[in-house]
Homo-oligomer: A and B are copies of this chain.
Amino acid sequence: MTTTDRSDDVTSPFRWRRGRLLDDVDAGATPGFEGGKKAGYAVLAEHGAELSELQERLFAHGRTGGTRRLLLVLQGMDTAGKGGVVRHVVGMVDPQGVRCRGFGRPTAEERDRGFLWRIRRALPGPGLIGVFDRSHYEQVLVVRVDGLEPEAQWRAHYDEINDFEAEVAAAGTTIVKVMLALSPGEQLERLTSRLDRPDKHWKYDPADLHARRQWEDYQAAYQEMLDRTSTDVAPWWVVPADRKWFARLVVGEILLGALREMDLGWPPADFDVAEQRRLLTGG
């Protein structure tokens, strides 16, 4: 993951392939990167400039009638580092071009209207990067594990989600779905740290313990989610997340790869540049 590597080379190990077992993912590993934390942040910062320029091109594209946009979906167990990815990776680009949205428990109205209703409303507009901290995938995760719907009902969501994402992708959205893979041991440390620090108490929710006790059920739910919804137009990336710096570095590379693939130039002028220059200096 030196600065001359192509991001698709360095990120390819993290792209989900059917048949793989989530249990085989080593959450503490840093495959493809030789350095440590300091070197990782240095690469991230260095690539931030390109990330920022490509985001501006996307924004410019949207401001001049283009329809392309990008949606980053973040999933993972509590404390997996979703918020940190937003702050440290997404935070490197212009906030004007970013729409962040977190999805907690749905309201009564949101439940009534179907689980994709609030998701559709939160999709990024042209030229924007949308970021979902949790998403429609909770409908096959917490809903499944906590038995909030009968099995036949949540099972139907896989196809519904694939149809929905195919439609969203066809409308010009590059979809990047990232699952941050955390180990139970690292989660214990992070939850303990939240309890130890009064400035972190607001991030702690006793309900997190409930989910922690269902770890194996969540692993099974994630496994099936990955197998059923990693499609060509909306692939999943599974990123080892026990080391925050590594997860941030990899998500940065994945985003960079997605933006590079859009291959957007600067929009051409839709006015006569020479004439405007005359009018400007003459007026």
Q: Which positions in A face B, CB cutoff 8 Å?
A: 60, 63-64, 83, 86-87, 90-91, 94-96, 98, 100, 102, 131, 133, 188, 191-192, 195, 198-199, 201-204, 206, 209, 212-213, 266-269, 271, 273, 276-277, 279-281, 283
Query: Main SS of chain A's interface residues?
Result: helix
What's the number of copies of this chain in the assembled complex? 2
Excluding A96-B102, A195-B276, A201-B267, 4 further A-B contacts by CB distance (< 8 Å) are A83-B94, A192-B281, A204-B269, A209-B276
CA distance in complex: A83, B283 (Å): 25
Known: A209-B279, A280-B195. A60 touches B267 (CB 8 A): no
Closest to A59 in B: B202
A-B contact pairs, 22 of them (CB 8 A): A60-B202, A83-B94, A86-B96, A87-B94, A91-B94, A95-B98, A95-B100, A188-B281, A192-B280, A192-B281, A195-B276, A195-B280, A198-B266, A198-B268, A199-B266, A201-B267, A201-B273, A202-B267, A206-B279, A209-B280, A209-B283, A212-B280
Give the one of A87, A95, A198, A212 with max B CB within 10 A. A95
Chain B residues closer than 8 Å to A86, beta-carbon distance? 94-96
A213 contacts B283, C-beta separation under 8 Å:
yes
A156 vs B108: C-alpha distance in the bound complex, in angstroms?
40
Please state if B87 and A201 are interface contacts (CB–CB under 8 Å): no
Which of B87, B96, B192, B273 is in CB contact (< 8 Å) with A277? B192
Q: Within the complex, what minimum Cβ distance (angstroms) separates A13 from chain B?
A: 28
Which residue of B83, B188, B277 contacts A195 across the interface (Cβ within 8 Å)? Answer: B277
CB atoms of B206 and A63 under 8 A apart: no
A267: nearest chain-B partner, CB-CB: B202
Question: Is the pair B91, A87 in contact by a Cβ cutoff of 8 Å?
Answer: no
Find out whether the CB atom of B283 lies under 8 angstroms from the CB atom of A212.
yes
A60, B198: Cα distance in complex, Å = 12
Chain B residues closer than 8 Å to A100, beta-carbon distance: 95-96, 98
Name the residue of chain B whose CB is nearest to the CB of A197: B266
Given contacts A102-B96, A213-B283, contact A204 B90 (CB under 8 A): no
CB distance from A200 to the nearest CB of B (A): 8
Residue of B nearest to A133 (CB): B96
Contacting residues, chain B, for A195 (C-beta < 8 A): 273, 276-277, 280
Cβ-defined contact, A204 with B271, below 8 A:
yes
CB nearest neighbor in B for A274: B195
A201 B268 Cβ-Cβ under 8 A: yes
Which residues of B sit under 8 angstroms from A90, Cβ to Cβ? 95
Residues of B within 8 A of A202 (CB): 60, 63-64, 266-267
Residue of B nearest to A91 (CB): B95
* CA–CA, A156 and B34, complex, Å: 66
